[in-house]
Structure 1
Amino acid sequence: MSENECLVRASVADVFAVLGDGWSYAAWVVGASRIRDVDAGWPEAGRSIHHSVGAWPLLLNDTTTVQEYEPLRLLRLKVRAWPTGEGQVEFEATDRAGQCHLVMREKALNGPAALIPEAVADPILHARNDETLRRLALLAEGRRH
């Protein structure tokens, strides 16, 4: 399982405002290129974001679905990007003196990506998820202004 963390110069509420805005997903998730639809009630468990990955004209349509949501603490997602496979991504937030300590964990669940040895996959996921957290932090920090 790949794990990244950062200290966001914004409140946990600001971070979860971004996580809770399904239409912003493509703005901070590396690899997501557009949002086609967001289920009403996102980010409640069972709700999905319908997105595309890749670059035009090679776009693949898929979904990201909430597995578990605890407001201002945890968001666990099942992410799909077939034909590469499915994974689980988790965001866990804690308050640190008015700032948000955010931990992102990701693991492949099935499909071809799950067959890649962790020693090979982890550095790639770590780099991608570091950029994902950087983008998320910028959006959350921008909410303060």
Structure 2
Amino acid sequence: MTTNTRLIETTPERVWEVLSDGWLYPLWVVGASRMRDVDPSWPIVGSKLHHSVGVWPALIDDSTSVLEVNPGHRIKLLARAWPAGTAEVVITLAPQGAGTLVTISEEPASGPATLIPRPVRGPSLKWRNSETLRRLAYIAERRDLPTS
């Protein structure tokens, strides 16, 4: 399993707001290029994001579904990216001072990606998830607080 962490300079609640807004998925997930639909129940277990991966005109329609969730703390996803296969992705949030320590772990679960040896696939997953966390931080740290 490849794991990345990043301290995001905002509260876990604000980071969770980004994670629980499925329409923002392609803004922070490297490889996701557009959203087609978000299940109204997102992010409860079994709900799905319907997205596309790739670059036009070579877009592939796919989905990501929630396997487990502890709102505000942890979400486990099954991300599909055929023809490469699927991956299990776990994102955890832990308060740290005034910020949030975000950890993302990813492991191929099925398809051709499982045949790539860990020493080969590890560096590319490490880079991709480092950029994913950087994008997530940009959104969460700059997100306007809801007015009440």
TM-score, normalised by the number of residues in structure 2: 0.96
Q: Structure 2 stretches of 5 or more lacking a match?
A: none
Deviations 1:95-133 (A, max 9, x none): 011210000000000100010000000000000100000
**Cα RMSD for the two superposed structures:** 0.9
Shift of 1:4: 0.1
Task: Name the aligned partner's letter for residue 110 of structure 2.
Answer: N
Report the Cα distance in structure 1 between the residues aligned to 2:7 and 2:81, rounded to whole angstroms. Answer: 28
Shift of 1:72: 1.1
Q: What is the match of residue 85 of structure 2?
A: 85
Report the Cα distance in structure 2 between the residues aligned to 1:41 and 1:62, rounded to whole angstroms. Answer: 18
Shift of 1:61: 0.4
Report the Cα distance in structure 1 between the residues aligned to 2:5 and 2:95, rounded to whole angstroms. Answer: 13
Deviations 1:6-63 (A, max 9, x none): 0000100000000000000000000000000000110000000000000000000000
Q: What is the match of residue 103 of structure 1?
A: 103
Q: What is the match of residue 135 of structure 2?
A: 135
Task: Name the aligned partner's letter for residue 10 of structure 2.
Answer: A
Deviations 1:58-90 (A, max 9, x none): 000000000011011101100000000001001
Report the Cα distance in structure 2 between the residues aligned to 1:13 and 1:41, rounded to whole angstroms. Answer: 18
Give runs of aligned pairs for residues 30-41 of structure 1, distance below 5 A: 30-41=30-41
Where 2:23 maps in the other structure, the secondary structure is: helix
Please say if residues 10 and 144 of structure 1, whose CA atoms lie closer than 8 Å, have aligned partners that are also in contact.
no
Q: What is the match of residue 13 of structure 2?
A: 13
Report the Cα distance in structure 1 between the residues aligned to 2:35 and 2:143, rounded to whole angstroms. Answer: 21
Please say if residues 74 and 91 of structure 1, whose CA atoms lie closer than 8 Å, have aligned partners that are also in contact.
yes
Please say if residues 10 and 140 of structure 1, whose CA atoms lie closer than 8 Å, have aligned partners that are also in contact.
yes
* Structure 1 consecutive aligned stretches of length 4 or more whose deviation exceeds 2 Å: none
Residue 94 (str. 1) matches residue 94 (str. 2): yes
Residue 45 (str. 1) matches residue 48 (str. 2): no
Q: How many residues align?
A: 145
Q: Structure 1 stretches of 5 or more lacking a match?
A: none
Q: What is the match of residue 24 of structure 1?
A: 24
Task: Name the aligned partner's letter for residue 31 of structure 1.
Answer: G
Shift of 1:144: 5.1
Q: What is the match of residue 121 of structure 2?
A: 121
Q: What is the match of residue 112 of structure 1?
A: 112
Q: What is the match of residue 66 of structure 1?
A: 66
Shift of 1:143: 1.6
